[in-house]
Amino acid sequence: SDGDRVPALVIGSGYGGAVAALRLTQAGIDTHMVEMGKSWTTPGSDGKVFCPMLSPDGRSFWLRDRTVQPVSHFSGGSVDKNISRYVGVLDAEDFGGIKVYQGRGVGGGSLVNGGMAVTPKRNYFEEILPGVDSNEMYSTYFPRANAALGVNNIDPAWFESTEYYKFARTGRKTAERSGYTTTFVPNVYDFNYMKQEAAGQVTKSALVSEVIYGNNAGKKSLDKTYLAAASATGKLTISALHVVTSVAPAATGGGYQVVMNQINEQGNTVGTKTVTADKVFFAAGSIGTSKLLVAMKAQGQLANLPGAVGQEWGHNGNVMVGRANHMWDATGAKQSAIPVMGIDNWADTSAPVFAEIAPFPAGTELWVSLYLAIAKNPQRAQFQFNSATGKVGLNWQRSQNQPSIDMAKKLFDKINKKEGTIYRTDLFGPVQTWGDQLTYHPLGGCVLGKATDGYGRLPEYPGLYVMDGSLVPGNVGVNPFVTITALAERNIENIIANDMN
Protein backbone atom coordinates (compact mmCIF):
# COMPACT_ATOMS: atom_id res chain seq x y z
CA SER A 1 0.00 0.00 0.00
CA ASP A 2 0.90 3.67 -0.28
CA GLY A 3 4.17 4.60 1.36
CA ASP A 4 5.44 1.04 1.73
CA ARG A 5 9.04 0.00 1.28
CA VAL A 6 9.65 -3.41 -0.36
CA PRO A 7 12.86 -5.32 -1.19
CA ALA A 8 11.82 -6.25 -4.75
CA LEU A 9 9.11 -4.89 -7.01
CA VAL A 10 8.23 -6.55 -10.33
CA ILE A 11 6.31 -4.51 -12.93
CA GLY A 12 4.15 -6.87 -15.01
CA SER A 13 3.17 -10.52 -14.60
CA GLY A 14 3.95 -12.08 -17.99
CA TYR A 15 6.83 -14.47 -18.67
CA GLY A 16 9.71 -12.25 -17.57
CA GLY A 17 7.88 -11.14 -14.44
CA ALA A 18 6.70 -14.61 -13.47
CA VAL A 19 10.22 -16.05 -13.71
CA ALA A 20 11.61 -13.20 -11.62
CA ALA A 21 8.86 -13.63 -9.03
CA LEU A 22 9.42 -17.37 -8.65
CA ARG A 23 13.20 -17.25 -8.36
CA LEU A 24 13.24 -14.20 -6.06
CA THR A 25 10.67 -15.67 -3.67
CA GLN A 26 12.44 -19.04 -3.69
CA ALA A 27 15.59 -17.16 -2.67
CA GLY A 28 13.65 -15.89 0.35
CA ILE A 29 13.09 -12.35 -0.95
CA ASP A 30 9.73 -10.68 -0.30
CA THR A 31 8.51 -9.71 -3.74
CA HIS A 32 5.76 -7.34 -4.77
CA MET A 33 4.28 -7.68 -8.26
CA VAL A 34 2.26 -4.91 -9.91
CA GLU A 35 -0.03 -5.74 -12.85
CA MET A 36 -2.29 -3.33 -14.76
CA GLY A 37 -4.78 -6.04 -15.78
CA LYS A 38 -7.10 -7.92 -13.48
CA SER A 39 -6.71 -11.22 -11.75
CA TRP A 40 -8.79 -13.64 -13.84
CA THR A 41 -10.21 -15.84 -11.12
CA THR A 42 -13.87 -14.85 -10.61
CA PRO A 43 -16.57 -16.21 -12.94
CA GLY A 44 -18.98 -13.81 -14.64
CA SER A 45 -22.77 -14.19 -14.65
CA ASP A 46 -22.44 -17.03 -17.18
CA GLY A 47 -20.35 -19.03 -14.71
CA LYS A 48 -17.21 -18.63 -16.83
CA VAL A 49 -14.11 -16.58 -16.07
CA PHE A 50 -13.42 -15.84 -19.75
CA CYS A 51 -16.01 -15.06 -22.44
CA PRO A 52 -16.74 -17.27 -25.46
CA MET A 53 -14.70 -16.74 -28.63
CA LEU A 54 -17.69 -16.54 -30.92
CA SER A 55 -19.81 -14.23 -28.76
CA PRO A 56 -17.32 -11.85 -27.11
CA ASP A 57 -18.37 -9.42 -24.38
CA GLY A 58 -16.50 -6.81 -22.31
CA ARG A 59 -14.17 -9.50 -20.97
CA SER A 60 -12.63 -9.93 -24.45
CA PHE A 61 -10.90 -6.59 -25.04
CA TRP A 62 -9.02 -4.07 -22.97
CA LEU A 63 -11.10 -0.86 -22.63
CA ARG A 64 -12.83 -0.80 -26.00
CA ASP A 65 -16.43 -0.32 -27.16
CA ARG A 66 -15.98 -2.67 -30.08
CA THR A 67 -13.87 -5.76 -30.69
CA VAL A 68 -10.86 -5.55 -33.03
CA GLN A 69 -10.57 -9.18 -34.06
CA PRO A 70 -7.30 -10.16 -35.74
CA VAL A 71 -9.26 -11.76 -38.58
CA SER A 72 -11.51 -8.73 -38.85
CA HIS A 73 -13.62 -9.40 -41.92
CA PHE A 74 -15.46 -12.15 -43.74
CA SER A 75 -17.16 -12.09 -47.15
CA GLY A 76 -17.08 -8.31 -47.39
CA GLY A 77 -18.27 -7.43 -43.89
CA SER A 78 -16.68 -6.65 -40.55
CA VAL A 79 -17.00 -9.43 -37.99
CA ASP A 80 -16.42 -7.08 -35.04
CA LYS A 81 -19.07 -6.61 -32.37
CA ASN A 82 -19.96 -3.89 -29.90
CA ILE A 83 -18.93 -4.68 -26.35
CA SER A 84 -19.05 -2.88 -23.03
CA ARG A 85 -15.93 -1.07 -21.94
CA TYR A 86 -14.09 -3.24 -19.43
CA VAL A 87 -10.57 -4.29 -18.41
CA GLY A 88 -10.75 -7.23 -20.84
CA VAL A 89 -7.94 -9.71 -21.32
CA LEU A 90 -6.74 -8.89 -24.85
CA ASP A 91 -5.35 -5.49 -25.75
CA ALA A 92 -4.92 -4.35 -29.33
CA GLU A 93 -2.67 -1.37 -28.73
CA ASP A 94 -2.76 1.08 -31.62
CA PHE A 95 0.36 2.74 -32.92
CA GLY A 96 0.30 4.60 -36.24
CA GLY A 97 1.65 1.75 -38.37
CA ILE A 98 0.66 -1.34 -36.39
CA LYS A 99 -1.75 -2.84 -33.88
CA VAL A 100 0.12 -4.74 -31.18
CA TYR A 101 -1.92 -7.49 -29.48
CA GLN A 102 -0.99 -8.20 -25.86
CA GLY A 103 -2.45 -9.99 -22.85
CA ARG A 104 -3.73 -7.96 -19.88
CA GLY A 105 -4.12 -9.62 -16.52
CA VAL A 106 -2.20 -11.64 -13.97
CA GLY A 107 -0.30 -13.97 -16.31
CA GLY A 108 0.23 -11.44 -19.15
CA GLY A 109 0.39 -12.92 -22.64
CA SER A 110 0.02 -16.46 -21.31
CA LEU A 111 -3.70 -15.76 -20.77
CA VAL A 112 -4.43 -15.13 -24.45
CA ASN A 113 -1.72 -16.81 -26.47
CA GLY A 114 -1.82 -19.98 -28.53
CA GLY A 115 0.50 -21.76 -26.10
CA MET A 116 2.96 -22.69 -28.87
CA ALA A 117 6.17 -23.39 -26.99
CA VAL A 118 9.02 -23.33 -29.47
CA THR A 119 12.72 -23.41 -28.66
CA PRO A 120 14.48 -21.29 -31.31
CA LYS A 121 16.95 -22.68 -33.80
CA ARG A 122 20.35 -22.62 -32.19
CA ASN A 123 22.26 -20.99 -35.04
CA TYR A 124 19.70 -18.18 -35.27
CA PHE A 125 19.70 -17.66 -31.51
CA GLU A 126 23.50 -17.33 -31.68
CA GLU A 127 23.13 -14.83 -34.54
CA ILE A 128 20.70 -12.54 -32.71
CA LEU A 129 22.27 -12.73 -29.23
CA PRO A 130 25.98 -13.42 -29.82
CA GLY A 131 26.86 -12.29 -26.28
CA VAL A 132 24.87 -15.09 -24.65
CA ASP A 133 26.58 -18.45 -24.04
CA SER A 134 24.42 -20.76 -26.15
CA ASN A 135 25.85 -23.92 -24.56
CA GLU A 136 24.44 -22.80 -21.25
CA MET A 137 21.13 -21.80 -22.82
CA TYR A 138 20.58 -25.09 -24.64
CA SER A 139 21.83 -27.34 -21.85
CA THR A 140 20.36 -25.54 -18.84
CA TYR A 141 17.96 -22.65 -19.37
CA PHE A 142 15.81 -23.80 -22.29
CA PRO A 143 15.22 -27.18 -20.56
CA ARG A 144 14.51 -25.37 -17.26
CA ALA A 145 11.99 -23.06 -18.95
CA ASN A 146 10.25 -25.87 -20.83
CA ALA A 147 9.91 -27.93 -17.64
CA ALA A 148 8.56 -25.09 -15.52
CA LEU A 149 6.13 -23.97 -18.25
CA GLY A 150 4.70 -27.50 -18.48
CA VAL A 151 5.40 -27.92 -22.20
CA ASN A 152 3.95 -31.11 -23.73
CA ASN A 153 3.38 -32.63 -27.18
CA ILE A 154 0.29 -33.86 -28.95
CA ASP A 155 -0.06 -37.65 -29.28
CA PRO A 156 0.67 -38.12 -33.01
CA ALA A 157 -1.82 -40.99 -33.36
CA TRP A 158 -4.60 -38.87 -31.91
CA PHE A 159 -3.59 -35.97 -34.16
CA GLU A 160 -4.02 -38.19 -37.21
CA SER A 161 -7.47 -39.37 -36.19
CA THR A 162 -9.31 -36.46 -34.57
CA GLU A 163 -11.70 -34.25 -36.55
CA TYR A 164 -10.41 -31.28 -34.53
CA TYR A 165 -7.05 -31.28 -36.36
CA LYS A 166 -8.34 -31.85 -39.88
CA PHE A 167 -7.37 -28.22 -40.59
CA ALA A 168 -3.77 -28.95 -39.63
CA ARG A 169 -3.63 -32.17 -41.65
CA THR A 170 -4.95 -30.30 -44.70
CA GLY A 171 -2.38 -27.56 -44.10
CA ARG A 172 0.35 -30.19 -43.86
CA LYS A 173 -0.76 -32.09 -46.97
CA THR A 174 -0.87 -28.96 -49.15
CA ALA A 175 2.51 -27.77 -47.85
CA GLU A 176 4.20 -31.13 -48.36
CA ARG A 177 2.83 -31.51 -51.88
CA SER A 178 4.81 -28.34 -52.70
CA GLY A 179 7.97 -29.77 -51.16
CA TYR A 180 7.82 -27.90 -47.84
CA THR A 181 8.76 -29.43 -44.50
CA THR A 182 6.24 -29.41 -41.67
CA THR A 183 6.90 -30.00 -38.01
CA PHE A 184 4.89 -30.63 -34.86
CA VAL A 185 5.05 -27.75 -32.39
CA PRO A 186 5.02 -28.33 -28.59
CA ASN A 187 2.47 -26.47 -26.48
CA VAL A 188 1.53 -25.63 -22.90
CA TYR A 189 -2.07 -26.69 -23.48
CA ASP A 190 -2.57 -30.03 -21.70
CA PHE A 191 -3.14 -32.50 -24.54
CA ASN A 192 -4.50 -35.15 -22.17
CA TYR A 193 -7.18 -32.67 -21.17
CA MET A 194 -7.90 -31.98 -24.85
CA LYS A 195 -8.36 -35.69 -25.54
CA GLN A 196 -10.85 -35.84 -22.66
CA GLU A 197 -12.65 -32.82 -24.15
CA ALA A 198 -13.00 -34.67 -27.44
CA ALA A 199 -14.32 -37.73 -25.59
CA GLY A 200 -16.94 -35.60 -23.86
CA GLN A 201 -15.52 -36.28 -20.39
CA VAL A 202 -14.65 -32.72 -19.33
CA THR A 203 -15.75 -29.17 -20.06
CA LYS A 204 -14.52 -28.12 -23.48
CA SER A 205 -12.14 -25.16 -23.84
CA ALA A 206 -9.75 -25.40 -26.84
CA LEU A 207 -12.35 -27.56 -28.57
CA VAL A 208 -14.99 -24.81 -28.33
CA SER A 209 -12.58 -22.28 -29.85
CA GLU A 210 -11.37 -20.68 -26.62
CA VAL A 211 -7.93 -19.09 -26.89
CA ILE A 212 -7.41 -15.37 -27.60
CA TYR A 213 -10.00 -14.22 -25.04
CA GLY A 214 -8.71 -16.73 -22.49
CA ASN A 215 -9.07 -20.46 -21.87
CA ASN A 216 -11.48 -21.53 -19.12
CA ALA A 217 -9.62 -24.84 -18.81
CA GLY A 218 -6.77 -26.88 -20.25
CA LYS A 219 -4.08 -24.26 -20.73
CA LYS A 220 -1.15 -24.06 -18.34
CA SER A 221 -0.98 -20.29 -18.30
CA LEU A 222 1.52 -18.64 -15.92
CA ASP A 223 -1.04 -18.29 -13.11
CA LYS A 224 -1.09 -22.12 -13.04
CA THR A 225 2.70 -22.61 -13.26
CA TYR A 226 5.34 -20.01 -12.34
CA LEU A 227 3.02 -17.66 -10.47
CA ALA A 228 1.27 -20.45 -8.55
CA ALA A 229 4.67 -21.75 -7.43
CA ALA A 230 5.82 -18.26 -6.45
CA SER A 231 2.62 -17.68 -4.44
CA ALA A 232 3.11 -21.01 -2.67
CA THR A 233 6.33 -19.67 -1.13
CA GLY A 234 4.22 -17.18 0.85
CA LYS A 235 6.59 -14.40 -0.24
CA LEU A 236 4.71 -13.00 -3.23
CA THR A 237 2.14 -10.19 -3.14
CA ILE A 238 0.32 -9.25 -6.35
CA SER A 239 -1.45 -5.92 -6.87
CA ALA A 240 -3.72 -6.32 -9.90
CA LEU A 241 -5.40 -3.31 -11.58
CA HIS A 242 -2.40 -1.11 -10.78
CA VAL A 243 -0.63 0.72 -13.62
CA VAL A 244 2.96 1.84 -13.00
CA THR A 245 3.46 5.37 -14.29
CA SER A 246 6.87 6.38 -12.97
CA VAL A 247 10.12 4.96 -11.59
CA ALA A 248 12.79 7.29 -10.19
CA PRO A 249 15.67 7.10 -7.71
CA ALA A 250 14.35 7.59 -4.16
CA ALA A 251 15.30 10.93 -2.62
CA THR A 252 16.63 9.32 0.54
CA GLY A 253 17.70 5.88 1.69
CA GLY A 254 18.51 4.44 -1.74
CA GLY A 255 16.28 2.35 -3.94
CA TYR A 256 13.59 3.58 -6.31
CA GLN A 257 10.30 5.33 -5.95
CA VAL A 258 7.59 3.61 -8.00
CA VAL A 259 4.36 5.51 -8.67
CA MET A 260 1.23 3.66 -9.76
CA ASN A 261 -2.41 4.37 -10.50
CA GLN A 262 -5.00 2.02 -9.13
CA ILE A 263 -7.85 1.56 -11.66
CA ASN A 264 -11.34 0.06 -11.46
CA GLU A 265 -12.85 -2.48 -13.86
CA GLN A 266 -13.97 0.30 -16.17
CA GLY A 267 -10.38 1.54 -16.40
CA ASN A 268 -10.86 4.73 -14.38
CA THR A 269 -8.18 5.81 -11.93
CA VAL A 270 -9.40 5.51 -8.36
CA GLY A 271 -6.17 6.20 -6.49
CA THR A 272 -2.43 6.80 -6.72
CA LYS A 273 0.23 5.06 -4.64
CA THR A 274 3.94 5.48 -4.19
CA VAL A 275 6.07 2.55 -3.09
CA THR A 276 9.82 2.48 -2.54
CA ALA A 277 11.69 -0.62 -3.70
CA ASP A 278 15.34 -1.62 -3.28
CA LYS A 279 15.24 -3.41 -6.64
CA VAL A 280 12.82 -2.90 -9.52
CA PHE A 281 12.31 -5.49 -12.27
CA PHE A 282 10.79 -4.16 -15.51
CA ALA A 283 8.66 -6.97 -16.93
CA ALA A 284 5.86 -4.99 -18.56
CA GLY A 285 6.54 -6.61 -21.95
CA SER A 286 8.40 -5.22 -24.96
CA ILE A 287 5.87 -2.42 -25.35
CA GLY A 288 5.19 -1.72 -21.66
CA THR A 289 8.82 -1.70 -20.54
CA SER A 290 10.04 0.30 -23.54
CA LYS A 291 7.31 2.91 -23.09
CA LEU A 292 8.11 3.33 -19.40
CA LEU A 293 11.89 3.56 -19.86
CA VAL A 294 11.71 5.93 -22.85
CA ALA A 295 9.34 8.20 -20.94
CA MET A 296 11.52 8.15 -17.79
CA LYS A 297 14.62 9.00 -19.83
CA ALA A 298 12.92 11.84 -21.72
CA GLN A 299 11.20 13.31 -18.65
CA GLY A 300 14.32 13.13 -16.53
CA GLN A 301 13.40 10.58 -13.83
CA LEU A 302 16.00 8.21 -15.34
CA ALA A 303 17.84 10.70 -17.54
CA ASN A 304 21.08 8.71 -17.67
CA LEU A 305 19.60 5.68 -19.41
CA PRO A 306 21.61 4.86 -22.55
CA GLY A 307 20.58 5.81 -26.09
CA ALA A 308 19.93 2.15 -26.88
CA VAL A 309 16.77 2.31 -24.75
CA GLY A 310 13.78 2.41 -27.11
CA GLN A 311 15.75 1.05 -30.09
CA GLU A 312 15.66 -2.16 -32.13
CA TRP A 313 11.96 -2.94 -31.87
CA GLY A 314 10.57 -5.54 -34.23
CA HIS A 315 7.45 -7.68 -34.53
CA ASN A 316 9.06 -11.03 -35.26
CA GLY A 317 8.22 -10.62 -38.96
CA ASN A 318 4.54 -11.46 -38.33
CA VAL A 319 2.15 -11.57 -41.25
CA MET A 320 -1.11 -13.51 -41.58
CA VAL A 321 -2.76 -14.91 -44.69
CA GLY A 322 -5.58 -17.26 -45.67
CA ARG A 323 -5.91 -19.64 -48.62
CA ALA A 324 -9.15 -20.94 -50.12
CA ASN A 325 -8.92 -24.71 -50.43
CA HIS A 326 -10.81 -26.84 -52.92
CA MET A 327 -14.06 -28.41 -51.72
CA TRP A 328 -12.31 -31.78 -51.42
CA ASP A 329 -9.69 -30.33 -49.06
CA ALA A 330 -11.94 -29.60 -46.11
CA THR A 331 -10.55 -28.00 -42.95
CA GLY A 332 -13.36 -29.09 -40.62
CA ALA A 333 -16.35 -27.50 -38.94
CA LYS A 334 -14.81 -28.44 -35.61
CA GLN A 335 -11.31 -27.08 -35.00
CA SER A 336 -9.12 -27.02 -31.94
CA ALA A 337 -8.09 -23.44 -31.13
CA ILE A 338 -4.59 -24.65 -30.25
CA PRO A 339 -2.13 -24.81 -33.18
CA VAL A 340 0.23 -27.79 -33.24
CA MET A 341 1.96 -27.67 -36.60
CA GLY A 342 4.21 -25.33 -38.56
CA ILE A 343 5.73 -25.11 -42.03
CA ASP A 344 9.46 -24.73 -41.47
CA ASN A 345 11.11 -22.95 -44.40
CA TRP A 346 13.63 -21.02 -42.28
CA ALA A 347 16.69 -22.53 -43.96
CA ASP A 348 15.60 -21.22 -47.40
CA THR A 349 17.47 -17.92 -47.62
CA SER A 350 15.17 -16.68 -50.40
CA ALA A 351 12.09 -17.08 -48.16
CA PRO A 352 13.06 -17.65 -44.52
CA VAL A 353 9.64 -18.24 -42.96
CA PHE A 354 8.25 -20.31 -40.10
CA ALA A 355 4.49 -20.47 -40.66
CA GLU A 356 2.12 -21.72 -38.05
CA ILE A 357 -0.89 -23.57 -39.49
CA ALA A 358 -3.57 -21.71 -37.55
CA PRO A 359 -7.12 -22.76 -36.81
CA PHE A 360 -10.04 -20.77 -38.18
CA PRO A 361 -12.57 -21.74 -35.56
CA ALA A 362 -15.86 -20.46 -36.95
CA GLY A 363 -17.97 -23.49 -36.03
CA THR A 364 -18.71 -24.30 -39.64
CA GLU A 365 -16.79 -25.69 -42.63
CA LEU A 366 -15.15 -22.83 -44.52
CA TRP A 367 -12.34 -24.58 -46.47
CA VAL A 368 -9.96 -21.84 -45.28
CA SER A 369 -6.34 -22.52 -44.41
CA LEU A 370 -5.09 -19.74 -42.17
CA TYR A 371 -1.42 -19.11 -41.45
CA LEU A 372 0.54 -16.92 -39.05
CA ALA A 373 3.94 -16.51 -40.66
CA ILE A 374 7.10 -15.47 -38.85
CA ALA A 375 9.51 -14.10 -41.47
CA LYS A 376 13.13 -13.04 -41.16
CA ASN A 377 12.19 -9.39 -41.64
CA PRO A 378 15.20 -7.15 -40.87
CA GLN A 379 13.11 -3.97 -40.41
CA ARG A 380 13.18 -2.32 -36.97
CA ALA A 381 11.53 0.68 -35.31
CA GLN A 382 12.11 3.03 -32.37
CA PHE A 383 10.02 4.29 -29.49
CA GLN A 384 9.92 8.08 -29.18
CA PHE A 385 8.64 10.38 -26.47
CA ASN A 386 6.23 13.04 -27.68
CA SER A 387 6.54 16.02 -25.35
CA ALA A 388 3.33 17.56 -26.71
CA THR A 389 1.16 14.59 -25.72
CA GLY A 390 3.34 13.19 -22.95
CA LYS A 391 3.02 9.79 -24.63
CA VAL A 392 5.49 7.36 -26.14
CA GLY A 393 4.96 6.45 -29.78
CA LEU A 394 6.43 3.73 -32.00
CA ASN A 395 7.56 4.83 -35.45
CA TRP A 396 6.91 1.51 -37.24
CA GLN A 397 5.50 2.10 -40.75
CA ARG A 398 3.19 -0.43 -42.32
CA SER A 399 5.46 -0.53 -45.38
CA GLN A 400 8.17 -2.02 -43.17
CA ASN A 401 6.21 -5.25 -43.26
CA GLN A 402 6.67 -5.61 -47.02
CA PRO A 403 9.72 -7.90 -46.57
CA SER A 404 7.56 -10.29 -44.50
CA ILE A 405 4.87 -10.27 -47.19
CA ASP A 406 7.45 -10.88 -49.92
CA MET A 407 8.92 -13.89 -48.10
CA ALA A 408 5.57 -15.41 -47.14
CA LYS A 409 4.21 -14.78 -50.64
CA LYS A 410 6.99 -16.88 -52.20
CA LEU A 411 6.00 -19.79 -50.02
CA PHE A 412 2.23 -19.55 -50.39
CA ASP A 413 2.31 -18.63 -54.09
CA LYS A 414 4.08 -21.94 -54.65
CA ILE A 415 1.43 -23.82 -52.70
CA ASN A 416 -1.39 -22.03 -54.53
CA LYS A 417 0.20 -22.76 -57.90
CA LYS A 418 0.65 -26.44 -57.11
CA GLU A 419 -2.87 -26.78 -55.71
CA GLY A 420 -4.60 -24.51 -58.25
CA THR A 421 -5.96 -22.43 -55.36
CA ILE A 422 -6.12 -18.73 -54.47
CA TYR A 423 -5.71 -16.44 -51.48
CA ARG A 424 -8.72 -15.35 -49.45
CA THR A 425 -8.93 -11.59 -49.91
CA ASP A 426 -11.79 -11.02 -47.44
CA LEU A 427 -10.23 -11.78 -44.03
CA PHE A 428 -8.11 -8.77 -43.01
CA GLY A 429 -10.14 -5.98 -44.62
CA PRO A 430 -12.98 -5.72 -47.15
CA VAL A 431 -10.46 -6.55 -49.89
CA GLN A 432 -7.05 -7.34 -48.47
CA THR A 433 -4.90 -10.45 -48.82
CA TRP A 434 -2.24 -9.92 -46.15
CA GLY A 435 -2.80 -9.38 -42.45
CA ASP A 436 0.17 -7.04 -42.23
CA GLN A 437 -1.15 -4.34 -39.88
CA LEU A 438 -1.02 -6.38 -36.68
CA THR A 439 1.36 -8.42 -34.57
CA TYR A 440 1.22 -10.90 -31.70
CA HIS A 441 4.98 -10.86 -31.14
CA PRO A 442 6.39 -7.48 -30.02
CA LEU A 443 10.11 -7.86 -29.28
CA GLY A 444 12.95 -5.51 -28.41
CA GLY A 445 13.20 -1.90 -27.30
CA CYS A 446 15.65 -2.62 -24.52
CA VAL A 447 18.02 -5.13 -26.05
CA LEU A 448 20.20 -7.41 -23.93
CA GLY A 449 23.85 -6.39 -23.99
CA LYS A 450 23.04 -3.02 -25.62
CA ALA A 451 20.52 -1.13 -23.47
CA THR A 452 21.39 -3.43 -20.55
CA ASP A 453 24.45 -5.34 -19.47
CA GLY A 454 24.73 -9.02 -20.44
CA TYR A 455 22.14 -10.02 -17.80
CA GLY A 456 19.44 -7.34 -18.03
CA ARG A 457 20.90 -4.83 -15.57
CA LEU A 458 20.50 -1.14 -16.36
CA PRO A 459 24.06 -0.30 -15.25
CA GLU A 460 23.47 3.45 -14.95
CA TYR A 461 20.93 2.64 -12.24
CA PRO A 462 22.06 -0.14 -9.90
CA GLY A 463 19.02 -2.14 -8.77
CA LEU A 464 17.01 -1.68 -11.99
CA TYR A 465 16.61 -4.72 -14.25
CA VAL A 466 14.82 -5.62 -17.49
CA MET A 467 13.36 -9.14 -17.62
CA ASP A 468 10.94 -9.45 -20.58
CA GLY A 469 10.61 -9.58 -24.36
CA SER A 470 12.14 -6.14 -24.74
CA LEU A 471 15.55 -7.85 -24.32
CA VAL A 472 15.14 -9.80 -27.59
CA PRO A 473 16.31 -7.83 -30.65
CA GLY A 474 13.15 -7.76 -32.76
CA ASN A 475 13.01 -11.26 -34.19
CA VAL A 476 13.66 -14.78 -32.90
CA GLY A 477 12.35 -16.82 -35.84
CA VAL A 478 9.77 -18.76 -33.82
CA ASN A 479 6.99 -17.95 -31.34
CA PRO A 480 8.81 -16.06 -28.58
CA PHE A 481 7.71 -17.01 -25.06
CA VAL A 482 10.07 -19.96 -24.51
CA THR A 483 13.00 -17.70 -25.42
CA ILE A 484 11.77 -14.92 -23.12
CA THR A 485 11.32 -17.41 -20.27
CA ALA A 486 14.72 -19.07 -20.72
CA LEU A 487 16.57 -15.74 -20.92
CA ALA A 488 14.78 -14.60 -17.77
CA GLU A 489 15.84 -17.83 -16.01
CA ARG A 490 19.45 -17.21 -17.03
CA ASN A 491 19.49 -13.57 -16.04
CA ILE A 492 17.69 -13.84 -12.70
CA GLU A 493 20.07 -16.60 -11.60
CA ASN A 494 23.02 -14.28 -12.17
CA ILE A 495 21.25 -11.32 -10.53
CA ILE A 496 20.27 -13.31 -7.41
CA ALA A 497 23.80 -14.70 -7.09
CA ASN A 498 25.53 -11.32 -7.42
CA ASP A 499 23.15 -8.52 -6.46
CA MET A 500 20.94 -9.86 -3.67
CA ASN A 501 22.76 -9.93 -0.39
Q: Given the rule CB under 6 A, which residues bind ligand FAD?
A: 11-16, 34-37, 101-104, 108-109, 112-116, 212, 243-244, 283-286, 288, 292, 440-441, 468-469, 479-481, 484
Is residue 36 within 8 A of residue 245, CB to CB? The reply is: no
Q: Would you give the DSSP letter of residue 140?
A: I
Active-site position among 356, 419, 489, 493: 356
CB of 476 to ligand FAD, least distance (A): 9
> Closer to ligand FAD at the Cβ: 29 or 145?
145
Is residue 441 flagged as an active site residue? yes
CB of 327 to ligand FAD, least distance (A): 30
Alpha carbons 261 and 36: distance in angstroms, whole number: 9
Tell me the DSSP string of 309-326.
Answer: TT--BB-TTEEEEEEE--
Contacts of 278 (CB under 8 A, 6+ apart): 5, 6, 7, 8, 254, 255, 256, 463
Sheet holding 90-95, edge to edge: 90-95, 98-103, 438-439
Is residue 315 flagged as an active site residue? no
Alpha carbons 304 and 293: distance in angstroms, whole number: 11
CB of 307 to ligand FAD, least distance (A): 22
**How many other CB atoms are there within 10 angstroms of residue 248's CB atom?**
16
Cite the DSSP H helix spans in 32-94.
none
Alpha carbons 300 and 294: distance in angstroms, whole number: 10
> Closer to ligand FAD at the Cβ: 255 or 480?
480
> Closer to ligand FAD at the Cβ: 150 or 288?
288
CB of 14 to ligand FAD, least distance (A): 2
Active-site position among 210, 441, 489, 493: 441
**How many other CB atoms are there within 10 angstroms of residue 26's CB atom?**
15
> Closer to ligand FAD at the Cβ: 21 or 419?
21
> Closer to ligand FAD at the Cβ: 243 or 294?
243
- Report the residue count for the chain: 501
CB of 488 to ligand FAD, least distance (A): 8
| 319 strand-pairing partners | 373
Q: Which residues are catalytic?
A: 356, 441
